[in-house]
Chain A
Amino acid sequence: MAKQNMKTYTLATDAGDISYIDTKRYLWMASLAYALIPFLGIGTHALFGHQAWLALPLFVAYVVGPVLDWWLGEDENNPPEEIVPLLEADSYYRLLPVLTVPLHFASLIGAAYWASTQALSWWGVLLLAISAGIANGLGINTGHELGHKKTQLERNLAKIVLAVPAYGHFSIEHNRGHHRDVATPEDPASSRMGESIYKFARREIPGAFRRAWAVEDERLTRKGVSVLSWENEILQSYAVTFVLQIALIATFGWMMIPFLAIHNFLAWWQLTSANYIEHYGLLRQKEPNGRYERCQPYHSWNSNHKYTNLVLFHLERHSDHHAHPTRRYQSLRNFKDVPRLPNGYNGMFPLAYVPSLWFRVMDPRLMALPHIDGDMTRINIDPEKKEALYAKYGVAGHIENIPATKAV
């Protein structure tokens, strides 16, 4: 028998009552506020007059975010497994990602309106496009949370919110491609050791589109329907993009073309950044039957940092997400002894943008993971960097004969 009130979940079991209070319950609303981040720049610009205030959302994303994660620290608290069904059924949690959907439209439209109606120089417009892109990179995260769910309403809302940054192929690519191939060399959305984010982006962005299209083509072929039909879920989302972005160009003029291009790219770049850090260098082993081993908790990098997990719907508890992709954000668990990032995503992204720093911080962490323990054969390595990395960390010049156990 379950009794539930606003904050406390209680479940009577044979072993006694289990109670759980989700201390983050109302803090999850942070993800709604973050979707509106361009308005922080617009509001302060309106208030104080100087267009430099339009940079405030960037400051919040890349300076305040990492500092808050460092300052507030980590939350390793997990709901008891028995309570998870109660959390999953709570409509409050289901409502939040749904409510963020219109906010992502508002962020883009508001930034476009401000860019075209204020006397701004080029860099003021650029800052608005970037801040809207950051907000709608988060929109891809909302689409991610919704697109993994089983209700048609949530899946349709994923297509709609992904349309804002013109990334409607994401749900298909991610759910049916990335989750199947994660942490293998075949996955364009899993980064390799020695691969910079700039090289990764050139593989990930086109690779995502190609794989999504191939997966959808395969499904529609089974149905006996042309890939160029309205049943194509990628095209459904692109149609919303087309209407939205053409309407913005028609309303606010030709300047919207570069504005939208920058906005769209910045949003994609947020996803690329997340994909880059989530599985860097991690590799599933091939089994005798030719299949890759099932994705294990140590095949994802995780972070329990409080602030960025709240604005990203627990995306950083990534191991549990890959173990249970349909599980809702409020129920995702921290695992002990999984690969851990030293900061939340907002701190790790700028680090990734300076490849030499990224390699210096992450390569030793990767090598030291218990399941790798210096064994280069257990790492997903950029083939072009293999020799140099073996020379640095493994056995130089004997790449084909690296022992299966720990490298010297």
Chain B
Amino acid sequence: MSSVYECPCCGYRYHQDLGDEHEGLAPGTSFSELPEDWVCPDCSVRYKEDFQPTN
């Protein structure tokens, strides 16, 4: 199970281990815990379901 998910539009990466401090997502917040209507915080073009697991 990947712990990194990438936006296919702009390359933003969500690291589950790191979270996203600016977005108020604590380290360890799993990708599945993000709200269903979550959009990429950098480009706002892609939704959560568009993100690709990556290494």
Residues of A within 8 A of B (CB): 150, 175-176, 179-180, 219-224, 291, 294-295, 322-326
What is the distance, in angstroms, from A204's C-beta to the closest C-beta of chain B? 18
Does B45 lie within 8 Å of A295, measured CB to CB? yes
Contacts of A179 in B (CB 8 A): 43-45
Contacts of B43 in A (CB 8 A): 179, 324-326
Q: Mark B33-53, 1 if CB is under 8 A from A, else 0.
A: 000000101111111000000
Query: What's the Cα separation between A360 and B9 when bound, in Å?
Result: 37
Query: What's the Cα separation between A324 and B24 when bound, in Å?
Result: 25
What is the distance, in angstroms, from A22's C-beta to the closest C-beta of chain B? 23
Residue in A closest to B23 when the chains form the complex, CB atoms: A219
Once A180-B39, A324-B9, A326-B10 are accepted as A-B contacts, the answer to whether A175 and B24 lie under 8 Å apart by CB is no
Query: What's the Cα separation between A395 and B49 when bound, in Å?
Result: 39
**Is B25 part of the binding interface, using a Cβ–Cβ cutoff of 8 Å?**
yes
Contacts of A223 in B (CB 8 A): 24
Chain B interface category by residue count = 10 to 19
Contacts of A219 in B (CB 8 A): 22-24
Does A326 lie within 8 Å of B42, measured CB to CB? yes
Residue in B closest to A181 when the chains form the complex, CB atoms: B44
Contacts of A323 in B (CB 8 A): 9, 45
Query: What's the Cα separation between A323 and B46 when bound, in Å?
Result: 10
Residue in B closest to A180 when the chains form the complex, CB atoms: B44
Query: What's the Cα separation between A325 and B45 when bound, in Å?
Result: 8
Residue in B closest to A289 when the chains form the complex, CB atoms: B49
Once A219-B24, A222-B25 are accepted as A-B contacts, the answer to whether A176 and B44 lie under 8 Å apart by CB is yes
Contacts of B24 in A (CB 8 A): 219-224
Contacts of B45 in A (CB 8 A): 179, 294-295, 322-325
Query: What's the Cα separation between A324 and B42 when bound, in Å?
Result: 10
Does A325 lie within 8 Å of B23, measured CB to CB? no
Query: What's the Cα separation between A330 and B21 when bound, in Å?
Result: 31
Does B47 lie within 8 Å of A150, measured CB to CB? no
Does B44 lie within 8 Å of A291, measured CB to CB? no
> 19 A–B contact pairs at CB < 8 A?
A150-B12, A150-B42, A175-B44, A179-B45, A219-B24, A221-B24, A222-B25, A223-B24, A224-B24, A291-B47, A294-B46, A322-B45, A323-B45, A324-B9, A325-B42, A325-B43, A325-B44, A326-B10, A326-B42
